[in-house]
Structure formats: C-alpha cells, structure tokens
Amino acid sequence: MTALDPRVRAVARRIVRECAAVCAGQHVYIDGRLDSAAYLEQLAHECEVAGATALVVPRSDERAHRRLTELSEEQLAATSAPELEAVRAADVVFVVRMEDGDPRLFADVKPAQRAAQQRGRKPVTDAILGGGKRWIGTDFPTPAQAAAFGLEWGAFSEMFWRSLDVDYGELQEKADAGARLFEGARQVRIRSPKGTDVTLGVAGRPIDKDVGLVGRETDLSNLPAGEICLAPLEDEADGTVVFDLAFWDGRRIEDLEVRFARGVAMPVRAAREFDFFCGVLDAADDAARVIGELGIGINPAVGAPCGYTLTDEKILGTVHLALGDNVMLGGVNDSVLHWDMMILRPTVEVDGRRLLDDGEWQL
C-alpha cells in the first residue's frame, strides 16, 4: 500500500474533515517523515480543499540520526525558534512521525543524546499540547518498521490502515461506557498473570477519551485512535508492575518488572534490555520516574501487540502505563519523557468494579 492508494487518499480526507475538523481560514502545520512525503502532501491538499492553509515540514530518519549522533548535547538541547513560531501560529498541528521510519537505525543513539533532543523540543511540544490547538499524532507505516517488529510487511500495513479506518461512533460508545466507571472513582487496581499487582489513585483526575474526533471530546488525539486514559495522582501508585513489552529507539524491552512506591518507579529486572531501560530514565530527569498515565485500549481492529506503540496501546483489553510527563492529561508531572509500556491480559478494577477481566472487556 502506498500513499497514492485510493484507500490511503480516502483516509487522509477523513482525517482532515472528520477527525481534525479542519475548516476554512485555519492554518495547519504538518510535521512528518520524508519517506511519507506523498502522504503529507495529500493531507495538505485536503486541508486546502477545506479552505485552510497548510505548511509541510518533512524530515528524514537519516538527518535525525546524524543530529543525534554527531551534534553535542548542548546543540540538541537548543530549541528551533522558527519551528516554535510556526507551531504557535497554527490552529491545527499534524505530527505524522509518531514512530521512526526505521527504528533499527537509532539503536546506537545514546540515551543522553535523545534526552537532550527531548529537552530542545519540549517548548515546541508544550506549545502544541498546551496551546489550545487541535493536534493529531499519527504515522505512516514502512517496510523497515515491519522488519523491526518482526512482521510481514503486507500484514503490518493492513493492520495500520484497518485500525485507523474504524467506526469512530463505536469507539465513542465504548469510551463513554468506560469513562462512566471512572466517575467519582478514587482507586484503580491492576493485576496480570505475570505478576502485576498495583493500585493507582485517580480521585479528581479527568478522564480523556481518545476516539479520533478532535474538537469534541478532546483537542488531542492519536491516530489510530482508541483509548481511555487519565493522569493518576503522582504520589499514589503503589505495588508491582510487570510490563510485557516496551520499545525505544529500536530496542525491545520484555518482561520489565518495576516497583512503585508513592508514585515513583524503581526498576527491578527485565528479560532483556534492562540496563538500557535504566539508562533512558537516568538520562531524562527526576520526573521521568513518576507515574504519568493510565491508558486502556478500546480499538478492536488492531490485533496482537508487536512493539509498535502507536497501535499496541490501542488494543482492546490491554493496559498501558506511562512514566513521565502527564501535564497534557491534567496532571502536574512535567518531564521531557513520556514512555508508554504495555500490560497484556490485565484485570482492572475501578473502586472494586471490574472493567477488564484477564483482558476481556466487562461493560
């Protein structure tokens, strides 16, 4: 499937008109990977058909890798003033590079270099997520991504477009049902077959329903969509979590055990890449170890997890917890890091009322 495939054209049209609700007179900023340039231009064209103006900024993986490996931390931590001004001037922002086009290319990037880059981009990110703009974070699948996740290219591509081209009304209904369970709730307990048993305080925190309809339930959305999420209270996470899967810069982390005490994560062990995981946290900031998000997947079209976080975290019946920043979700933990990690086959109880039972939706 290519960017010129009729299905992809139709999806781009739907994203602009239905999901992002772009309309006449608006300014749209489109930031994406160079390998998806045709798709970026299709989005820009649909914006212009709707009467908006659009600016496309493509960036190659190769250029991103050279910056991360050849520039100093001081250079990486500097914010691009032109980019920041362009984002501030926009009404709608598309980020079409939620994942690297070739994740394996970045396996040699040092955590300190990536953390410096995150510090440099944080003012831009804050201007997007906290500036009252509509934001769509999405991607364009590549054969290199499929290879990195150990998947056949055709099946991977089909999964992505199938997961994106869903019935958003049905997602809305499922999100509404889940959100009602959280109304007035104080505590969430999560367990899993691998040993997860953790409680999270959630009293007073708003529930976010990411159902792909920006401007209705929320101003921020991932596509593929399909989760309900919130920012747990930063000092009320206690217990053990065994994350089945996490992915970062081309590295796959499996069976990661973390213990939480008053909201702070203490790494214990992992089946693979434990030292790398600890290095990413050490290179970020103190707030990177604090519980940041509880998310529950509700998209039935995704399928099995593979390490592609953008779709993994939307799988119906899964939970992801994030470490780090949660300001965009109504929390108070401000960090350069936001790292989603997966819990499979979870049992979730909200004030004793069951939402998931061994990964099966109960509402």
pLDDT digits (tens, 9 = 90+) for 28-56: 999 999 999 999 999 999 999 999 999 99
- 176 and 160 within one domain: no
Least confident interval from 1-10, 81-90, 325-334? 1-10
Residue 112 is assigned to a structural domain of this protein: yes
- Judge if 321 and 343 occupy the same domain: yes
Q: Distance between CA 11 and CA 8 in Å, rounded?
A: 5
Q: Are 319 and 350 in contact (CB under 8 A)?
A: no
Span between the terminal Cα atoms of the chain, in Å: 36
Q: Is the pLDDT of residue 5 over 90?
A: no
Q: State which of 114, 134, 164 marks the end of a domain.
A: 164
* Integer Cα distance of 253 and 305 in angstroms: 13
150 and 174 inside one domain = no
**Letter for the amino acid at 345?**
R
Q: Exposed/middle/buried for 11, CB within 10 Å: 0-12, 13-18, 19+? A: buried
Angle between helices 111-129 and 61-70 (to 10 degrees): 120
My answer on whether 125 and 213 are in the same domain is: no
Answer whether residue 138 shows pLDDT above 50: yes
- Regarding whether 351 and 210 lie in a shared domain, the answer is yes
Whole-prediction pTM value? 0.93
pLDDT at 130: 81
DSSP 211: S
Tell whether 219 and 346 lie within a shared domain.
yes
Q: Is residue 269 domain-resident?
A: yes
How far apart are alpha carbons 299 and 213 in whole angstroms?
Answer: 14
The residues, any chain, with a CB within 8 Å of residue 152's CB and separated by 6 or more, are: 146
Using alpha carbons, select from 221, 4, 226 the residue that is nearest to residue 93: 221
Same domain flag for 198 and 65: no
Helices first, then strands: H and E counts in the chain: 11, 18
Q: Determine if the peptide bond prior to 224 is cis (ω within 30°).
A: yes
In Å, what is the CA distance from 246 to each residue of 32, 164, 256, 279?
A: 23, 22, 8, 14
Residues 97-123 have pLDDT tens digits of 999 999 999 999 999 999 999 999 999
Does the structure show a pLDDT above 80 at 2? no
Predicted pLDDT of residue 131:
76
Structurally, how many domains does the chain consist of? 2
Kindly state whether residues 28 and 79 are assigned to the same domain.
yes
Among 134, 141, 194, smallest CA distance to 163 is for 141
What would the pLDDT profile of 59-82 be if each residue is shown by its tens digit?
999 999 999 999 999 999 999 999
Q: Are residues 148 and 39 in the same domain?
A: yes
Structural domain harbouring 20 = 6-164
pLDDT tens readout for residues 159-210: 999 999 899 999 999 999 999 999 999 999 999 999 999 999 999 999 999 9
Q: Among 148, 164, 180, give the residue marking a domain's end.
A: 164
- pLDDT, tens only, 298-313: 999 998 999 999 999 9
Same domain for 317 and 238: yes
Q: Is residue 214 part of a domain?
A: yes
Tokens of 64: 């991103």
Partner residues linked to 360 by β-bridges: 357
Percent of the chain residues past pLDDT 70, beyond the cut: 99
Using CA atoms, how far residue 336 sits from 96, 126, 203, 330, in Å, is 20, 10, 25, 16
Q: Read off the pLDDT band of 1 (50, 70, 90).
A: very low
Residue type, 263: G
Q: What is the mean pLDDT of residues 15-28?
A: 94
Look at residue 128 and tell me if it is in a domain.
Answer: yes
Q: Are 245 and 254 in contact (CB under 8 A)?
A: yes
Residue 35: CB partners within 8 Å, gap ≥ 6? 60, 61, 101, 140, 142
Q: Please, what is the angle between helix 111-129 and helix 81-89, to 10°?
A: 30
Q: Evaluate whether residue 326 is within a structural domain.
A: yes
* CATH number of the domain that residue 102 is part of: 3.40.1830.10
Point out the least confidently predicted range of 9-13, 190-194, 342-346: 9-13
**Closest C-alpha to 237, from 326, 297, 299:** 326
CA-to-CA dists, residue 180 to 173, 220, 346, 350, angstroms: 11, 20, 19, 11
Residue 73 falls within a domain, yes or no?
A: yes
Q: Tell me how far apart the alpha carbons of residues 162 and 29 are, in angstroms, rounded to a whole number.
A: 26
Do 181 and 298 reside in the same domain of the chain?
yes
Per-residue confidence at 3, pLDDT binned at 50, 70, 90?
low
Whether 54 and 32 have beta carbons less than 8 Å apart is answered as no
Read off the amino acid at residue 192.
Answer: S
Cα distance between residue 329 and residue 210, in whole Å:
11
Give dist(CA 7, CA 13) in Å, integer.
Answer: 10
Backbone angles phi and psi of 203, in degrees to 5 = -55, 125
* Domain-embedded: residue 1: no
Does residue 275 share a domain with residue 313? yes
Q: Which among 130, 164, 198 is the end of a domain?
A: 164
- Residues of the chain with pLDDT > 90, as a percent, come to 93
pLDDT in tens, 245-282: 999 998 999 999 999 999 999 999 999 999 999 999 99
